[in-house]
Structure 1
Amino acid sequence: MNTKQFPARLHLLIAKNNDNGIVIRRGPSKQVCILAWDRSRNTFTVSQWLKGRIYERRSDISPSGKYWIYFAMNGKWQSEAKGSWTAIARAPWLKAIELLPKGDCWQGGGLFLDDQTYWLNGCHESLLTTKEIARNKSYQPKNQYGGECLNVYFNRLQRDGWNLTTDWKQGQWHLPTIFDKKLLHGWKIKKICHAQVDSPPGKGCYWDEHELHNQNGEILTKPKWEWADWVDNALVFAEDGCLYKLTIESFNDLSEAQLLHDFNSYKFENRQAPY
């Protein structure tokens, strides 16, 4: 039996128009913790846990940070939610204000088009609705990337300023898809997105690594950065269950990485949403 313990796995959603963010913390593999990140004070607050899986690459946060959309699976296929579902909730909570049962793990999740409307990825049933937000049934993303995580994730990346630098074709397994984003002083970050069935230990079938490039041609490989983005004029990244940031000092100089938070020690607890 493999008893090796892996660090918590982290993925972040960053609100565009305020100082809020959501941390999706996975670990152990069938438990997920959602935390609020107040970026103005750099505080992290646990909201709720789920015994199951949240597909972070099919999730999104509204520009104001008031709502978020996520796709989840707990395998309770005879339940009202049919074992897997897309939910819209008041960030950073899990309790749905709009609940859309799916019943399988194809498609699911979606993207916010603005603070009041969202696009839903694929066909769902409807169990709970709200007047706070509305689904745009006519919208379709410009690009299509299959029936799982990548269709939401790759469209979200491009919406948020990442440039697709490689061709993508349906069924493109084992060939990484690469995005980049320009930073300060000629620096560029590359996000190398893997999709494979025989992923390394501790990784899912979808996993990312990163590189930093400067204008002198120097390349800094960051294979352990599982998430990274330009946030509040700093480069923020997740590595080994911890969140760090560094600043770009000049065309060839980076600051030392500063630890923002260590997420490894969290344990499951039952918590209720305040609504």
Structure 2
Amino acid sequence: MSAPPRLYVLVAIHAPTALIIRRGPSNWWHLLRWDLQTRTIEPGAWFGGTLYPRRCDISPDGRYFGYFALGTGEPPWRTYFAVSRLPWLTALVAWQTYGTYTIGCRFARDGNLTISGAMNDQPFHGRYPNKASIEVMHTNWIRRDIQNELKRGWRPLREALEIPLDPDERDSAVLIQRTSPTGHGTSLILAHTGVDFQRHGIEGVQTRYFRKDRDGQITPLADATWADWDHNGHLLMATRQGAVTVHEQRRRVWTETWTHDLADLTPNPAEAPVWAEGW
């Protein structure tokens, strides 16, 4: 039996859209658009190189994907940063990077793009229709690993809580939390416990998730490899078994109300549609 895929999700800040980044089998990557309003999944690109999901992002309106990739082609398509239309990888603009020493990107609401990486400041392919700038890199690797959460309202956990972590994780864990946007008093807690490329995790990052209810009870989300809130306060999760799920609170009880299994997919590369080839 093959190992379950590894899943990571990017939720648009101002739209009911998410991008699922799926790894497996082996080095295959697959992009899928997740419509959080209709709860439907739209398959997109398959890629046989390497993506770095924690160094990627999607635009606030959910239309564009800024991604860092290690390709299989000749330079400059070896290591590069590009922008495409969800859920495809057809590069509308691309910059060559100096190896994999790249941190990530940030889309502004007005369409401007900031990239943090060791790279050329001018694209070698296409053009970006708004302002694109390259910023000085930092070397805080944990901050890099959780930058997408910090952009989406997660904040360092200031209060002293008894988080049920293994003894070897407690000293190194970095804890951040995000309260539900609907104000029902429930928070998610993410524990970054280090990097181990021999264990299940996107880019080797080891994370543990917990839910803290308004009465202070802390519940481990043992199956979650990723979790966040949607704009309506529903709990979104990607599981270790290769599914994405939605949980809703009903009469103070959290119930799984939707699930989509992504475990048994076979690579099926296809040409991107015509609309994905332009801005």
TM-score of the superposition, structure 2-length normalised?
A: 0.82
Deviations 1:117-165 (A, max 9, x none): 111111213311324233134x669xx453x6x4444333222110122
Residue of structure 2 equivalent to 1:117: 112
Residue of structure 2 equivalent to 1:154: 146
* Aligned with residue 96 of structure 1, among 88, 91, 97: 91
Give % identity. 22
Structure 1 unaligned regions, length at least 5: 167-173
Deviations 1:168-226 (A, max 9, x none): xxxxxx82221101124322210112322365356652132201112333221123211
Give me the whole-angstrom Cα distance separating, in 2, the residues matched to 1:203 and 1:27: 11
Judge which range, 227-236 or 66-75, deviates more: 66-75
Q: For CA contacts below 8 A with separation 6 or more, give which structure has more relative contact order.
A: 2
Give me the whole-angstrom Cα distance separating, in 2, the residues matched to 1:63 and 1:185: 24
Work out whether residues 10 and 57 of structure 2, in 8 Å CA contact, stay in contact via their aligned partners in 1: yes
Kindly report which structure 2 residues correspond to 1:225-236, keeping only aligned pairs within 5 A, or say none: 225-231=224-230, 232-236=232-236
Give me the whole-angstrom Cα distance separating, in 2, the residues matched to 1:92 and 1:208: 25
The residue type equivalent to 2:126 in the other structure is: T
Give me the whole-angstrom Cα distance separating, in 2, the residues matched to 1:115 and 1:8: 35
| Larger strand percent | 2
Judge which range, 222-231 or 98-107, deviates more: 98-107
CA, structure 1 residues 186+145, in 2 after alignment: closer, same or farther (shift >3 Å)?
farther
Give me the whole-angstrom Cα distance separating, in 1, the residues matched to 2:11 and 2:39: 13
Give me the whole-angstrom Cα distance separating, in 1, the residues matched to 2:208 and 2:156: 15
Residue of structure 2 equivalent to 1:171: none
Give me the whole-angstrom Cα distance separating, in 1, the residues matched to 2:10 and 2:200: 25
Give me the whole-angstrom Cα distance separating, in 2, the residues matched to 1:124 and 1:145: 16
Give me the whole-angstrom Cα distance separating, in 2, the residues matched to 1:42 and 1:242: 13
Give me the whole-angstrom Cα distance separating, in 1, the residues matched to 2:14 and 2:201: 34
Residue of structure 2 equivalent to 1:224: 223
Q: Is residue 267 from structure 1 mapped to residue 266 from structure 2 by the alignment?
A: yes
CA, structure 1 residues 227+100, in 2 after alignment: closer, same or farther (shift >3 Å)?
same
CA, structure 1 residues 17+185, in 2 after alignment: closer, same or farther (shift >3 Å)?
closer
Kindly report which structure 2 residues correspond to 1:175-194, keeping only aligned pairs within 5 A, or say none: 175-183=172-180, 184-194=183-193
Count of aligned pairs: 256
* Aligned with residue 27 of structure 2, among 26, 30, 43: 30
Give me the whole-angstrom Cα distance separating, in 2, the residues matched to 1:108 and 1:208: 19
Q: CA RMSD in A?
A: 2.4
Kindly report which structure 2 residues correspond to 1:197-216, keeping only aligned pairs within 5 A, or say none: 197=196, 199-201=198-200, 204-216=203-215
CA, structure 1 residues 101+161, in 2 after alignment: closer, same or farther (shift >3 Å)?
same
Give me the whole-angstrom Cα distance separating, in 1, the residues matched to 2:60 and 2:87: 13
